[in-house]
Amino acid sequence: MAVERFPIEAGHIMMFARAIGEDDPAYYAAMSGDQPVPAPPTFVQASAQYDPDYILRPKIGQKWFGSGRTESGTAGGGSGGGEGKAIGSGLHAEQHFTYHQPLRAGMVLTATTRDGDRWEKEGRRGGKLMFGETITDYHDANGELVITARSVGVRTERAVEQEG
C-alpha cells in the first residue's frame, strides 16, 4: 500500500470515534469547532480510504467478491471458492504502532509500505499457516515520521470448513 495523501480530517475522526464507541468530546470537535482534534490511537488504519488500489473496498464498475445475487460476485455462484475465497481468507494476526509525534486533524500524511519478515507455522489442525509482515511509515507534510505501523497477516493453506 502506498498512500500519497492522507488528510487527517475532524469529520473522519468523529465517524471513527463513533464506530469504536469512543465518547470523549475531544474527538467530536468537528461539531464544536474546538482545536486541536486528536486522532484515536489506531486511526491511521483508515488510510485505506486514501489508497486507490485498496483491495478490500468495492471499486466502481468492477465485480466485488462479496455477495449480491450469489454468495460471491466473483466466484460464479455457490460455495466453493474462486478469487473471493482467496482474498477473504487472509486474517490479521498482529498489529503494532509506534508513535513519534501526536496525530491531529489538519495534518496531511503520506504512507509508504515495505515488506518485513515471512514465516510459516504448522496449524493446530494441520495445514500450514503462512505469516507475512508489512511495515508502514506515516510521514507528515514536512517529511517527519509520525507513526510506524507493523502489521502481521496470516493465510491458511486450507479453508476453514475443510479443516474440521
Positions in the binding site for another protein (CB under 8 A): 12, 15-16, 18-22, 24, 26-27, 38, 40-42, 45-46, 48-49, 54, 56-58, 64-67, 71-72, 75, 78-81, 84-85, 87-89, 91-99, 102, 150, 159-162
CB of 38 vs another protein, minimal distance in Å: 4
CB of 69 vs another protein, minimal distance in Å: 10
| Dihedral, CA of residue 14, residue 16, residue 22 and residue 27, to nearest 10 | -30
Residue whose CB is less far from another protein, 15 or 31: 15
CB of 115 vs another protein, minimal distance in Å: 18
Rg (CA), the chain: 19
The x, y and z cell numbers of residue 164, run together, are 474440521
DSSP secondary structure of 94-130: EEEEEESS--BTT-EEEEEEEEEEEEEEE-TTSSEEE
Residue whose CB is less far from another protein, 67 or 112: 67
Interior/surface letters 119-139, b for 16+ CB within 10 angstroms, e for the rest: eeeeeeeeeebebbbeebbbb
CB of 111 vs another protein, minimal distance in Å: 13
Residue whose CB is less far from another protein, 33 or 68: 68
CB-based contacts of 91: which residues, under 8 Å, 6+ apart?
Answer: 153, 154, 155, 156
CB of 141 vs another protein, minimal distance in Å: 19
Residue whose CB is less far from another protein, 72 or 110: 72
Residue whose CB is less far from another protein, 89 or 134: 89
